[in-house]
Amino acid sequence: MKNLTVSQIANANFKISGKSPILKPFHGSFVVADPSLLTPEESHDGKWHMFFHTTFGVFHFESDDGVDFKKVQKVANRAMRPNINRIDGRYYLFYERTRPLFFNALNVVNAVKWKSEIYVVESTDLMNWSAPKPVITNTRDYENSDRGMAISNPYFLQENGVKRLYYSCGLTYIKDCGFCEPTYISYAESKDIAKNYVSAEKPLISPDKNDPYLNLCSGCLKVYKLKDGYIGIQNGIYEKDGKSHSAIILLTSADGLKFEFNKVLVEPKIVDGKDWMKQFVYASHLVKSGNTLRLYFNARNIANPIKGRECIGFAEAEI
């Protein structure tokens, strides 16, 4: 990715793969969500590796082609929204750690307050993982809300000796969905990969009632350092025609901290007669393999918290 320019990404024509969705809910979960991937170029064994969450924790699947994925293991309970990284031959999996499932269920009906923070586990082989350790805990008032405290959607970026974790925080209740989405996007920095992070005094991104793609809350942000700048890929949550939606948008930045809207990458719609991304397209991960860019993401067909289902698919573009 670092050899690409901002204009190459901005000019890329992403098309939804006809093979999507590639992963559907299983084992009683209503969702498979928040994919984070290693390409064959990044992994030690030359395979694709996907980490994602269901209702019951974070899972690890692998594939030879990045399309047909098979289960390897369940990595963590009480876990959501993973971000996998390979740094100096070691793997670091950051994720949102929640309370046990019973308390999460009570939060849906607002019987208890939500609580989540960022944790990390480490591995040398993607099979054996260290004990989880806290990485970003609650230190800022903007991370709190009437419904509890949420620190989520970690995304790691490293340069010039500084380690930065972008993350979502806060809770905004989305009425037609019956659950909360992240209010703000912020970041924390450290000189160490897995400890001593200090969160920014103010969020990077806040909801904007005048922004058509960000008028409810901020969703999540993934940031990539390119040859001549930075891009951010965000899924804001917005209201349109009396319903909530989410779309994936492209942002650009000179410093990785101040972002400007560039264009919409993926909007909710019916594709090839399939309604799996009819109302929401959510958290994504952009990867490059060979001359192809793939934008993996999860999507939801309808807002209804019981009838709605979230699946994982991808769009791709040649560069």
Q: Which CATH class is domain 6-318?
A: mainly beta
Enter the pTM of the model: 0.96
Residue whose C-alpha is closest to residue 80's, from 181, 196, 223: 181
> Burial, 67: exposed, middle or buried (Cβ in 10 Å; 0-12, 13-18, 19+)?
middle
Q: Write the CA distances from 215 to 9, 35, 177, 222, integer angstroms.
A: 25, 25, 16, 19
Give mean pLDDT, residues 27-41: 97
Beta partners for residue 63, in sequence order: 48
Band of pLDDT at residue 49, cut at 50, 70 and 90: very high
Question: Given its phi and psi angles, is residue 247 left (phi above 0), alpha (psi -120 to 50 degrees) or beta?
Answer: beta
pLDDT in tens, 73-132: 999 999 999 999 999 999 999 999 998 764 555 555 565 789 999 999 999 999 999 999
Distance CA 82, CA 86 (A): 13
